[in-house]
Structure 1
Amino acid sequence: MNDSLNPTRSAAPAGLSLAPGLLLTGLLLQGCVTTVTPATPPVVVIAPNGAASAPVSAAASAAAASAAAAASAPGATVVRLDPAAPKPFDEVIKGATHQDGFVPVWRKDEKTWLEIPVERLDQPFLLSINISNSIGERGLYASQMGPQWLASFRKIGSNLIQLVALNSNYVATTPAMRASVEQAFSNSLLGAAAIVSAPHPQRKSVLVDAGFLLADMPGYSTAIETAFRLPYALDRGNSYFEKIRVTDDLTTLNARMHYATARMPAPPLTPSPVPTPPPPQTTPDPRSMFVGYVYNFAKLGEPMAPRKTDPRLGHFFDVVTDLTSDTKANPRLHYVTRWRLEKQDPQAPLSEPKQPIVYWLDKNIPVQYRGAVEAGVLEWNKAFERIGFKNAIVAKQQPDDADWDNMDARHASIRWFTGADVGFAIGPSHSDPRTGEIIDADIGMSDVFGRGARRFLVEDVGRATPFASPAFAAWSKFGGADYCNYAQEAAAEMDFAMDLLEARGEIAPDGPEADAFVQSRIKDVVMHEVGHTLGLKHNFKASTVVSRAQLQDKGFTESKGISGSVMDYNAYNLALAGERQASLNNTTLGPYDYWAIEYAYKSIAPADETAELSRIASRSTDPLLAYSDDAEAGGQRGNDGIDPLVNRFDLGDDPLAYYEKRLQLSRELWQRVQDRTPQPGDEAVRQRRVLLSGFQQLNRAADLVGKYVGGMNTVRDLPGSTNRPAYAPVAPAKQRDALQFLAKGLFNADSFRFKPQFLAGLSPDYNEWDRGGPVSIPAAVLQVQVTALDRLMSPGTASRLLDLPLYVADANKRNVISLAEVYGTLQGSVWSELKTGSDIDRLRRNLQREHLRRVQSLLIRGAGTLPPDALSLVRMEAVELQGQLRSAVNGSRLSVESRAHLQDSLSTLNEALKASMLRS
């Protein structure tokens, strides 16, 4: 040991004065710092708490104050009285590189440290984790936004830093209730790390090892398990930080996370009754996969003034439950999610914003599509100019040589992504949950406009669509009603339109017209997704504000568009042969879009805000501003939708007429493709794909036409604002027209006749192992018809039909369509051959079996949600059908297949009518 610490010496070491007799006490009990003469390197003794000890006398104050500087002097020798005490700050980061900013970061070799300043403790910031890289299948895709939290760093004792998710869902403004709320609702721990350094002598900050972030903080392992049902675990040892970016208001860490499983399980000896998902198909080794995380620590300024929602318009919102008072029946406050946008000159009618909303176009967007993407972004400036903002939105192209990741926070971005089974675009955002202020947004665009769409039309027929992946839904908040699959559906629409126009000879698939066609659709989809990232929800009633006559007026569609909003799922405006062809798709904002932006972003003085927002929202009675969202469109489990005017992918003020037109267009496409002779160099599955493209149109029509039966037209008015009823039954004549469309169109075998030589020529792609066999027209037709059957025989349709008389004045009740009429019309249409005595086509036999299967199930098992009156009517109709089958079973004009079918049907129905109902 250096003899400066030798207690036998009577003199104090140079540079430190102590009262006689206190040297030994100061060294052993206080752990004070001693130094040798300036000619030799200093010796530093660190106290057990990790810092220079407090002086033992007034004379020692100066030496103690310079202790930290001595510890970092060249050649200094450090001696610890407590080996477990944190090292001096400068010793820990010696030789490390420094990135200063919001949360400073230090790196050396494989080590990474976060520097936590004392002023950062207990201060809220926005923490988000995005997914920059993934494996490209079953919902596990790159370029997806992940979870977010309002978070803070919290110091526990002297050695621990916690990363805490703050509970911002419940608030109160009075001291007593604020204390009660804090006691009632817990925060959550996201991670924790030991402090590895003594406080910096000037900045008072400490270091923590950033390795605590190399964990499954976003819960991605749940998505992996959901996708594959295999025990993948995070491999901490092979996970690492790739790159780091630090600015004054943002710290971003890109991590490459390794998930692995030790072995693949052997397949079961016998098939499981529950299908087992296959292991990963896209990775070189299914036991191992890497996922890219982007951790964002984003600085929050002073909270922005929130703006309350109005349900007459559609905005995403953050919900805060205010428990200050118990006088409100509903304490929840709904704040519009929106970017902070303020005028540079508040008095100017048109002013640049202090900070525009910036959209970065990622360098991975194909060059040929960048212009269309930028145009889709900037189109929204038209809406902001109307409320006084010039250049509110700015589009910037990320340089091709940029080394930073666009998944970082504090701006919007647009990225391309690909996958083996993916076909959607998504426009999510992260916001300050206290106010609704949008902090970050990342639009993901899959490659459905190139390779993707045409492949999906072939690969996805008859099985679950890829965007419905349970893995994506389990992990992402966009797995529910707010999830947007517009790109995949829009690409399917685009393919149908291109196939028809090509068959007419109006467009060449590899010509400039086709390229312009694709570019315009990309702009349309980008406009839609940008609208989401500006805070706008879907509007599935907007397409009904344009009349059928206007849709054929090229001048109107070029200046006004084909729909009231780009936030609808808008179909292609395809004319029938011989009709006038106007604009094919939406290329500009609609009146609803201007209205929604005005409500969310108009600059309003605080004192005038309530009255002005109410005035803006009161324009909801304007027919051009019709609005309904995902919930009213239905299509989710337990919600089949009740308003036939609220649909995805219809067009015009009469959706039923639109679906009738689509049936005609599908027939035209089928006829043209049958007349065309395949040419050398054609795509291997071209004819097969075109055939199925027409069926996809009818699949959608089958369900949505059924919405008319028992349907209700809806409006979104606040109590007392108008005299319009919230629910009005669809006109009985329209309901009957819908039934006839299904009977004469989709249930009619003549709608699906194809030339034998055409079907025989539908070859597969012989390079593909899973190539399938001949196309089954009966299966494709049945898929369309079953969709209609399920809608007409559903508990929801039955309940609404039984309730319709309650919504109609006595004078009009005689004309109301009844459930008995619907069941009778349906059964008469499906089994019409029993009355005519004609032979029964195979397509019709398939339809009859499906109808009988549903009747049999209801007679034997019942239906928990089917009204008792409906079940009684099912039995009554079944008895009538039984008599008709007895009369027809031995018809002399019938083929042997038809007689066998009728005998089997009669036997099935007899057994079902005699059976005791199985009750759960």
Structure 2
Amino acid sequence: MKKLLLFSFILAFTIPSKINAQRKKSKNKKTTQSLSKTKKSKKPKYADFVKKETKTDDGIFKVHESDNKYMYEIPKTFLGKEMLLVTRIKDIPAGLGGGYVNAGSKINTQVIVWEEFKNKILLKVKSYNAIANDSLPIYKSVKANNLEPVIYAFDIKTQNKDSTAILVDVTKFFSTDVKAITGLPSYFRKRYKVRRLDASRSFINSIKSYPKNIEVVQDFTFDADAPPSNSRSNTITIRVNQSMILLPEDKMMSRIYDKRVGYFSIGNVDYSSEALKADSKRYIKRWRLEPKDINAYNRGELVEPIKPIVYYLDPATPNKLKKHIKQGVDDWQKVFETAGFKNAIMAKYAPTKEEDPEFSMEDIRYSSIRYVASTTRNATGPSVSDPRTGEIIESDIIWYHNHLRSYRNRYLLETGAANPSARTLDTPAEDIGEMMRMVISHEVGHALGLPHNMAASYAYPVDSLRSGKFTQKMGIAATIMDYARYNYIAQPGDKNIRFIRQLGPYDHYSINWGYRKVPLAKTPEQETATLNKWITDKADNPIYRFGDQRFDPSSQTEGIGNDQIKASTYGIKNLKIVAKNLPDWTSNQTNNYDDLSELYGELLSVWSRYIGHVTGNIGGVYEFNKKPNQPGNIYTPVTKTKQKEALQWLQKNAFETQNWLLNKSILSNIKESGYTERILALQNRQLYTLLNTDRLKRMIDAEVVQDDFYAVSDMIRDLRSGIFSEAKYIKNVDVFRRNLQKSFIDRLATLFNSKELKNTDINAVIRGELAMMDFQLTLAKTKRVNRITKYHYRDCLAKVKKY
């Protein structure tokens, strides 16, 4: 009985345990199976991201949007393909960049590639600063020493149904502060004391996919302690447009840059060279123009390009200005005919929403002329180019609303003496339209690849610009790309004068050189002999010369004519007439002094420019770019005679007090004070330019290459003698001259203390001139002059002795 009870007791505990164990085992098995199923089911599927309610925009990549998240469906065939990422501003706060940054401004351009790496997609930036043929061994070294930066790594979410494309979530990339694509560069962040991006007020506005590009619009809001506007908000909100465009696989054949013809260019270092060093190469920037019929083109017939250059006018453009803007673009058609193309470039009005709901001025497939509501007085012609070849892909010309006011003012000031239609604040609409047309033509020139050519205005003789026959045919400079805006040389009584610039012969020459197809040439190197001949055939004609604005007096901004002294003499003669009549043409008509004040200030600037053109001759060096097989030197200093003549002219027209600028009826109605400081500032501009370190060094170097040179010691002596001319006589010194004389001493002292000039002749010359002034002023202070002149001489003497 006891045994039976014991067995029953053991059985009672054993059976439930086994049952529980079996249940636990069964439960564990089910849990394992469940976890296994869950694990398998957690692998994301295409349908998890692209659902019925998902909005899909098909294009180069499919873009999927759902629940404020954006997915890129990247075809695997596009992995590793080169694309251009262009970051530009779409909308900006008022005052950003001081008025010189606007909607449409480009912030950054970079070549990118999408690459697969393990379970990620990497977005890399490629550089073309260093290149090599990928068939050569050195290509491996170039790659190893130019590692491409990864600007973002995306997790691969899944693949599409047939595994031909990869899905990545780009939401975070486009809604956070990624510096590589930011719309607010570091210099803005520093200037406006930006602290951080506020993610709660930043978001993706839209992403649209097109056949060759994707356009992303982002709204960024930053916390900033010193925003450019709405300062109490401590906020900067900026709208940015990211354009990603597929670069052509059939690369345009590059054209080798030649500095004898003006073109913007790209450069790289080619390690494929068989020379004993890497080759630095430069190629011009230009649009790809391919003739529809190459055989007809080679026969010399005018042929339309397969893809013409088309600009769309901003819908915000005032109706009355549209025709002038359009004409400014279309004017280049005749120029391209010189290069063998007809209808190569044109302007069109932007389509309406009804005509093309997808059209966008930010879409990189379209070039545009933007009309910007801004008080800035400017216009620009930027472009986007392929850094591999120099091919211009797109450009956006920008016109600022207030720019015409600058042209009206200068039209009045520079041509009013000889041009009756300019003597008003209400410039005739026809003249305003012509000005705008030519500004647009100038900016189109930049967008075609042409930089400024300041030597073009020097090609025309000064007196030819007083001829109606000459100016109507040739304009006032050989190119629209010079800053030769108006004919300020023509004098009252000259007939049928063209006062406004126009396209010229150099424009035909440069477009032909850059865009004409060279028959049979298959590589850039095969073109060079032909291109060189086109240059040398016209090398002796100044009309076809290109010049940078640096140290060359024949290549100066805003100047016209081949003799700056003669041209500026004519210009100042006209300006004196304008100054005398300025109240009659402004305040007496409007019963308001605002325009008089504005125009008087600009009149001083015009006078300063005319003076500056002459200043450029002193210590100037002419630059005529040549190849070794061309006769003559590249660099030639200005003759001693010309430099001395220029300094004498400056003494009379800049450093002597210009009483014609001091019209009491103007000064007493525009400002309570500040006249003497204003004049001194303008005189100092010329004085400091003359006594510029680089200029003085060039004058010293002239001793080596020039037999009859204008020595630094002679120039500073002549300058001192003229500025202190009153000290030679019993003559009072007026307030303007007193200020200038003290400024001259201070400038010499600054140069004397310059470490850069410590071991040059300049130090010795200044020491000698200060000693001469010591002697001269010691005598001058004893002469019978008024009290302030005596005090002034004593003050100058104290300054001299101090140094």
Judging changes above 3 Å, is the alpha-carbon distance between structure 1 residues 531 and 827 closer, same or farther for their aligned structure 2 residues?
same
Counterpart of 1:385 in structure 2 is 337
SS of the aligned residue for 2:180 comes to: coil
Distance 1:775 1:712 in 2: 40
Judging changes above 3 Å, is the alpha-carbon distance between structure 1 residues 517 and 206 closer, same or farther for their aligned structure 2 residues?
same
Query: Would you say 1:234 and 2:197 are equivalent positions?
Result: yes
Distance 2:423 2:608 in 1: 26
Match of 2:307 among 355, 368, 377: 355
**Once the 2 structures are TM-superposed, how far is the Cα of residue 224 of structure 1 from its aligned partner?**
5.6
SS of the aligned residue for 1:440 comes to: strand
2:330–2:347 contact (8 Å) kept in structure 1: yes
Query: Would you say 1:156 and 2:103 are equivalent positions?
Result: no
2:157–2:166 contact (8 Å) kept in structure 1: no
Q: Which amino acid aligns with 1:526?
A: I
Q: Which amino acid aligns with 1:876?
A: G
Q: What's the C-alpha RMSD, in Å, of the aligned pairs? A: 2.6
Judging changes above 3 Å, is the alpha-carbon distance between structure 1 residues 676 and 599 closer, same or farther for their aligned structure 2 residues?
closer
2:521–2:527 contact (8 Å) kept in structure 1: yes
Query: Would you say 1:394 and 2:353 are equivalent positions?
Result: no
Counterpart of 2:57 in structure 1 is 99
Judging changes above 3 Å, is the alpha-carbon distance between structure 1 residues 862 and 436 closer, same or farther for their aligned structure 2 residues?
closer
Counterpart of 1:603 in structure 2 is 517
2:44–2:157 contact (8 Å) kept in structure 1: yes
Distance 1:788 1:177 in 2: 53
Judging changes above 3 Å, is the alpha-carbon distance between structure 1 residues 494 and 190 closer, same or farther for their aligned structure 2 residues?
farther
Match of 2:453 among 539, 545, 550: 539
Bigger mean CA deviation after superposition, 293-302 or 675-684? 675-684
**Aligned 1:725-804 pairs, distance under 5 A:** 725-752=633-660, 754-762=662-670, 773-804=671-702
**Once the 2 structures are TM-superposed, how far is the Cα of residue 885 of structure 1 from its aligned partner?**
0.6
2:468–2:496 contact (8 Å) kept in structure 1: yes
Counterpart of 2:398 in structure 1 is 444
**Once the 2 structures are TM-superposed, how far is the Cα of residue 448 of structure 1 from its aligned partner?**
2.9
Distance 1:816 1:224 in 2: 45
Distance 1:225 1:142 in 2: 16
SS of the aligned residue for 1:221 comes to: coil
**Once the 2 structures are TM-superposed, how far is the Cα of residue 241 of structure 1 from its aligned partner?**
2.6
Judging changes above 3 Å, is the alpha-carbon distance between structure 1 residues 491 and 125 closer, same or farther for their aligned structure 2 residues?
farther
Query: Would you say 1:132 and 2:90 are equivalent positions?
Result: yes
Q: Which amino acid aligns with 1:369?
A: L
2:620–2:637 contact (8 Å) kept in structure 1: yes
Counterpart of 1:271 in structure 2 is none
1:830–1:848 contact (8 Å) kept in structure 2: yes
1:189-223, Cα deviation, whole Å (9 max, x unpaired): 22232233343336433242343123343344335
2:269–2:279 contact (8 Å) kept in structure 1: yes
**Once the 2 structures are TM-superposed, how far is the Cα of residue 286 of structure 1 from its aligned partner?**
4.3
**Aligned 1:418-497 pairs, distance under 5 A:** 418-419=373-374, 422-450=376-404, 453=406, 493-494=410-411, 496-497=413-414
1:499–1:690 contact (8 Å) kept in structure 2: no
1:126–1:151 contact (8 Å) kept in structure 2: yes
Give TM-score scaled by structure 1 length.
0.78
Q: Which amino acid aligns with 1:103?
A: F
Distance 2:192 2:777 in 1: 48
Judging changes above 3 Å, is the alpha-carbon distance between structure 1 residues 903 and 716 closer, same or farther for their aligned structure 2 residues?
same
Judging changes above 3 Å, is the alpha-carbon distance between structure 1 residues 680 and 736 closer, same or farther for their aligned structure 2 residues?
closer
**Once the 2 structures are TM-superposed, how far is the Cα of residue 536 of structure 1 from its aligned partner?**
1.1
**Aligned 1:697-712 pairs, distance under 5 A:** 697-712=606-621
2:256–2:528 contact (8 Å) kept in structure 1: no
Gaps in structure 1 of 5+ consecutive residues: 1-7, 9-23, 32-44, 46-78, 265-278, 454-489, 635-640, 763-772, 913-920
Query: Would you say 1:593 and 2:593 are equivalent positions?
Result: no
Gaps in structure 2 of 5+ consecutive residues: 1-21, 23-28
Match of 2:790 among 889, 899, 904: 899
SS of the aligned residue for 1:648 comes to: coil
**Once the 2 structures are TM-superposed, how far is the Cα of residue 507 of structure 1 from its aligned partner?**
4.5
Distance 1:165 1:492 in 2: 47
**Once the 2 structures are TM-superposed, how far is the Cα of residue 660 of structure 1 from its aligned partner?**
2.1
Counterpart of 1:167 in structure 2 is 127
**Once the 2 structures are TM-superposed, how far is the Cα of residue 596 of structure 1 from its aligned partner?**
1.3
2:89–2:183 contact (8 Å) kept in structure 1: no
**Once the 2 structures are TM-superposed, how far is the Cα of residue 759 of structure 1 from its aligned partner?**
2.0
Distance 2:157 2:142 in 1: 35
SS of the aligned residue for 2:282 comes to: strand
Match of 2:366 among 396, 411, 425: 411
Bigger mean CA deviation after superposition, 540-549 or 168-177? 168-177
**Once the 2 structures are TM-superposed, how far is the Cα of residue 255 of structure 1 from its aligned partner?**
1.6
**Once the 2 structures are TM-superposed, how far is the Cα of residue 852 of structure 1 from its aligned partner?**
1.1
Counterpart of 1:248 in structure 2 is 211
1:668-716, Cα deviation, whole Å (9 max, x unpaired): 2211125679437444412212221211012223333222112111101
Match of 1:280 among 222, 227, 236: 227
**Once the 2 structures are TM-superposed, how far is the Cα of residue 506 of structure 1 from its aligned partner?**
5.4
SS of the aligned residue for 1:327 comes to: coil
2:409–2:599 contact (8 Å) kept in structure 1: no
Query: Would you say 1:614 and 2:532 are equivalent positions?
Result: yes
Counterpart of 1:16 in structure 2 is none
SS of the aligned residue for 2:310 comes to: strand
Judging changes above 3 Å, is the alpha-carbon distance between structure 1 residues 405 and 876 closer, same or farther for their aligned structure 2 residues?
same
**Once the 2 structures are TM-superposed, how far is the Cα of residue 531 of structure 1 from its aligned partner?**
0.9
- Aligned-pair identity in percent equals 24
Match of 2:40 among 66, 70, 81: 81
Counterpart of 2:105 in structure 1 is 144
Counterpart of 1:875 in structure 2 is 767
SS of the aligned residue for 1:360 comes to: strand
**Once the 2 structures are TM-superposed, how far is the Cα of residue 443 of structure 1 from its aligned partner?**
1.3
Give TM-score scaled by structure 2 length.
0.89
Distance 2:434 2:190 in 1: 35
Judging changes above 3 Å, is the alpha-carbon distance between structure 1 residues 136 and 581 closer, same or farther for their aligned structure 2 residues?
farther
1:494-526, Cα deviation, whole Å (9 max, x unpaired): 453476678x5754433xx52222211111111
Match of 2:272 among 301, 321, 324: 324
1:192–1:212 contact (8 Å) kept in structure 2: no
2:579–2:660 contact (8 Å) kept in structure 1: no
Distance 1:304 1:404 in 2: 27
Q: Which amino acid aligns with 1:670?
A: A
Distance 1:713 1:419 in 2: 39
Counterpart of 2:433 in structure 1 is 519
**Once the 2 structures are TM-superposed, how far is the Cα of residue 184 of structure 1 from its aligned partner?**
1.0
**Once the 2 structures are TM-superposed, how far is the Cα of residue 326 of structure 1 from its aligned partner?**
5.1
Query: Would you say 1:646 and 2:555 are equivalent positions?
Result: yes
SS of the aligned residue for 2:513 comes to: helix
Query: Would you say 1:573 and 2:487 are equivalent positions?
Result: yes
2:183–2:238 contact (8 Å) kept in structure 1: no
**Once the 2 structures are TM-superposed, how far is the Cα of residue 614 of structure 1 from its aligned partner?**
2.0
2:266–2:284 contact (8 Å) kept in structure 1: yes
2:50–2:64 contact (8 Å) kept in structure 1: no
Between Structure 1 and Structure 2, the one with more helix by share is: 2
How many residue pairs were aligned?
Answer: 756
Distance 1:226 1:659 in 2: 44
Counterpart of 1:668 in structure 2 is 577
SS of the aligned residue for 2:627 comes to: coil
Bigger mean CA deviation after superposition, 112-121 or 850-859? 850-859
2:93–2:228 contact (8 Å) kept in structure 1: no
Judging changes above 3 Å, is the alpha-carbon distance between structure 1 residues 757 and 545 closer, same or farther for their aligned structure 2 residues?
closer
**Once the 2 structures are TM-superposed, how far is the Cα of residue 335 of structure 1 from its aligned partner?**
1.4
Counterpart of 1:345 in structure 2 is 293
1:245–1:253 contact (8 Å) kept in structure 2: yes
Q: Which amino acid aligns with 1:496?
A: L
2:468–2:494 contact (8 Å) kept in structure 1: no
Match of 2:782 among 874, 879, 890: 890
1:250–1:409 contact (8 Å) kept in structure 2: yes
